[in-house]
A and B are shown apart, each in its own frame.
Chain A
Amino acid sequence: DAGITQSPRYKITETGRQVTLMCHQTWSHSYMFWYRQDLGHGLRLIYYSAAADITDKGEVPDGYVVSRSKTENFPLTLESATRSQTSVYFCASRGLAGTETQYFGPGTRLLVL
């Protein structure tokens, strides 16, 4: 099915471990985004990418690394997971114009013990 997918959907890890969350979209959208959703904070932008090999920081980038070697993939890596990174992570994508609709993946629930 076309769309935007995330894997894994659920992940439990331990403090200090490296974790990579995957995001894949089939629309050939230029822009891709990573958000985290926490109670009381709503959706906060971690990183975004305007195209392959172009990435930029969002509101809360510390502790995260992204890459975009292919247009359709935008993995998010937690280099050394901390408990404060326990959250629900959403990937999203949209076309070129800033006003185009963002479509979201199903989310990844991450628990850091």
Chain B
Amino acid sequence: AQKVTQAQTEISVVEKEDVTLDCVYETRDTTYYLFWYKQPPSGELVFLIRRNSFDEQNEISGRYSWNFQKSTSSFNFTITASQVVDSAVYFCALSESMNRDDKIIFGKGTRLHILP
């Protein structure tokens, strides 16, 4: 069965520090996709990234970067030089294979506080 674990329930860092949000997943499939979503205080869920299981290249988008390691079943998210606007709850998610009815499974989220 698929499972996503975000062990860090809440993290606080001071602005401009780097912070890494951990995500560990479990799946029996060889083909799967991983996602990160951001939920700012306003409440909406914002899609950040989607990565397939065959692409282990790290991804960088501005101050955001993602480290995908199949060997440890992890898909960690790093924010460099954090800003107050990065304060949000971040969800990691997993969807298995190409089965049409496969549903996305979310981790319980990590609440990130960026302190000014």
Interface set of A (CB-CB < 8 Å, partner B): 31, 33, 40-43, 45, 48, 50, 56, 58, 88, 90, 92, 96-99, 101-104, 106-107, 109
Could you say which of B47, B101, B106 contacts A103, with CB atoms under 8 Å apart? B47
A97 touches B44 (CB 8 A): no
Chain B, interface size: which category? 20 to 34
Report the nearest B residue to A58, measured CB to CB: B103
Residue B61 is within 8 A (CB to CB) of chain A in the complex: no
B109 touches A42 (CB 8 A): yes
Residue B91 is within 8 A (CB to CB) of chain A in the complex: yes
Report the nearest B residue to A104, measured CB to CB: B45
Residue B35 is within 8 A (CB to CB) of chain A in the complex: yes
Contacts A42-B109, A43-B106, A98-B95 hold; do A50 and B43 have CB atoms under 8 A apart? no
A98 touches B106 (CB 8 A): no
B87-110 contacts to A, CB under 8 A, are 91, 95-104, 106-109
Contacts A42-B109, A43-B91 hold; do A96 and B100 have CB atoms under 8 A apart? yes
Q: How far is the CB of A67 from chain B (nearest CB, A)?
A: 19
Report the tally of A-B residue pairs with Cβ distances under 8 A: 58
Could you say which of A42, A56, A88, A92 contacts B108, with CB atoms under 8 Å apart? A42
A42 touches B91 (CB 8 A): yes
Would you list the 6 A-B pairs with minimal beta carbon distance, nearest first? A98-B102, A104-B45, A99-B33, A42-B108, A43-B106, A98-B99
A98 touches B44 (CB 8 A): no
B27-58 contacts to A, CB under 8 A, are 31-33, 35, 37, 43-45, 47, 50, 52
B106 touches A99 (CB 8 A): no
Could you say which of A43, A98, A102 contacts B100, with CB atoms under 8 Å apart? A98
A90 touches B45 (CB 8 A): yes
